[in-house]
Chains A and B, each alone.
Chain A
């Protein structure tokens, strides 16, 4: 195309040429239109639950706006965690998602304060095959940003650096949100609360009770950068394989219900501790000191030594299980993800990503149906609660919910006596001396059985905790 032709075309495009030739003048747009009633739904928070809800609703043809406090979704949080991906794989082109490594290996270790460690490690061959047991290590900052982009590509609007401060009610029903911006009120028939664990909006509006101290865990976590080779050598990994290491016992988080973890990313390790806030109050150590002690345990130190810290943060995680869950459905609003207490945090499992996405998806579908029916009261939105009750989410929460109470009851035993007894038993069992092996076995068994309160006690405990592994 010649330059002449191009400029001729430009002139043709101009709608109303002014008397003199010249480029198109900007239209004055001093009037600000009102967006009240322009959106079918407002999503509070563009985390996993919020983006899943927005994506689902946008695909159902709704006009959706996500309001996110941070300057980008995932709030620049580089922290890595395990993303459980069954639903997200269906919702997106998951191959394109920014992922770090799949979980090829899981370990569970008991650590005693004295430095003993007993590790169980599993690496089923099936995990190396697609879809890798739907368990991927991701950096949440990158991942959340990508996931929100999927919602935007589907037609949702994302507005960042905007904090929702309250809900707007009309005739008792929720009819919009109030934000921290000037002219900050926005009306819409439905609000999807997806604000995460620190659910100030839901609590402030009386939709959820503030978390009981015993229902919340504290976590301190850091991300350290290493060479890729260092990580692959230390954890025996190749390609996209990753390791998820979980640690329990008083060598991990002291005399508290909880544990420590290390996740391998491509070039970073996510290292952290999670324990009940109630224990945190009684411990003289601050969460970062608990993390430091964990990192210096002889079984942990060689794995994390060196590197450069690139992020440190502390965080609250709800751990309340089914009893701490608020009503999911209200007139004009639904609550999803961590804000609804949908986290499984029992020591063996630390899961919330999958439930956040699942709840966002189910909420999105229910809101779309409600909007289509022209009614958004609690009854019209109740399909969300029903879908959740029928899903694996609530099932899992119920299944494992008892664990925390049980663990709190048996704290001494589980996190103190048992790790030590196991370590001592191992020492006996594998002792190299001139005694016969049968004697080693016997004394090892005696130590374990002793710690559990005799054979009857052991049987009772085995029965009590059987569900954890079923």
Chain B
């Protein structure tokens, strides 16, 4: 392994949460009017990837799977400073759930010869949090999830993470190659420089790969997706009672009564 790290950051295009509305009459989500934007936690992933690159040396390649319009999120990542971008785009990917999606991303990361793969903690439109661990599992690589802070150790080919765990944090060192899921809001994503942003949105063109390019044409799509959305329901808010009690003793009594 060379000293420079090859870093891949997975980003996803999601409907702008600020514009997704719930139709008050039918109770359904109206995503059609919402612009597509980069999944908010992915900004933290891009920032973390750039920080590691700036510390160690190497390149950051933004990676996404989606329709041609997903160029936009790759351009956003390149605007922030990613060096390259790859779009996995193919009708064959349609209907993929997290299993084939993480497989495709895993194969692409392998193809790119990645040392570190970054992802956001979860996406705002499906919130499974399964994709980064899925990539690690498919490639049999190490994984670091719920990461707050990173310390690269290029001499040892190791990445050390401060992980958020119940009640505190832990520090873990992982051997490369490793998949990192960054926790939302743990760093301050950088603002794209003006000239970089102009470049990303005008002259830059991401490379496009098909399912066959990464050899997964028979392993992706709706047919091989193990999960299916059975249906959607809007939950009626449960009325919550509120009560002020005078002192701790009364509070204890009330809790005992209710439960």
Contacts and interface: CB of A to CB of B under 8 A. Distances in A.
A78 to B, nearest CB: 11
Contacts of A162: 194, 197
B56 to A, nearest CB: 14
A33 B194 contact: no
B207 A25 contact: yes
Interface stretch (A95-103, A179-187, A422-430): A179-187
A186 B198 CA distance: 11
A172 interface: no
B202 A157 contact: yes
Q: Please tell me the size bucket of the interface on A.
A: 20 to 34
A23 B84 contact: no
Interface stretch (B160-168, B169-177, B209-217): B209-217
B111 A27 contact: no
B84 A26 contact: yes
A26 B85 contact: yes
Interface string A129-165: 0000000000000000000000000000101001000
Contacts of B212: 3, 7, 10
A76 to B, nearest CB: 8
Interface string A28-60: 111011110000000000000000000000000
B194 A186 contact: yes
B55 to A, nearest CB: 16
Interface residues of B, number: 31
A366 interface: no
A182 B193 contact: yes
Given A34-B195, A184-B193, A29 B201 contact: no
A333 B111 CA distance: 50
Contacts of A186: 194-195, 198
Nearest to A7: B212
Interface in A181-232: 181-186
Interface in B172-213: 190-199, 201-204, 206-207, 209-210, 212-213
A374 interface: no
Given A23-B209, A28-B84, A183 B59 contact: no
A267 B196 CA distance: 41
A179 B197 CA distance: 12
A183 B79 CA distance: 12
Contacts of A72: 35
Contact of A181 (B112, B192, B199): B192
A65 interface: yes
Given A26-B206, A27-B84, A29-B204, A35 B198 contact: yes
A23 B110 CA distance: 12
B86 A181 contact: no
B220 interface: no
Contacts of B111: 22-23
A24 interface: yes
Given A23-B213, A183-B193, A32 B84 contact: no
Contacts of B206: 26
Interface in A63-99: 65, 72
A32 B193 CA distance: 10
Contacts of B84: 26-29
B137 to A, nearest CB: 23
Given A23-B214, A26-B61, A157 B198 contact: yes
Contact of B198 (A7, A22, A65): A65
A159 B207 contact: no
A365 to B, nearest CB: 25
Given A23-B209, A27-B84, A157-B201, A32 B195 contact: yes
A184 B197 CA distance: 10
B144 interface: no
B191 A181 contact: yes
B122 to A, nearest CB: 23
A185 B194 contact: yes
Interface in B44-73: 59, 61
A36 B121 CA distance: 38
A72 B194 CA distance: 17
B147 interface: no
Nearest 9 pairs between A and B by C-beta?
A26-B84, A23-B213, A183-B193, A181-B194, A26-B207, A182-B193, A184-B194, A30-B83, A23-B209
Given A28-B59, A181-B194, 15 more contacts: A10-B210, A10-B213, A23-B214, A24-B207, A26-B84, A29-B78, A29-B199, A33-B195, A35-B198, A157-B201, A159-B197, A183-B193, A184-B193, A185-B194, A186-B198
Interface of B: 35, 59, 61, 78, 83-86, 111-112, 190-199, 201-204, 206-207, 209-210, 212-214
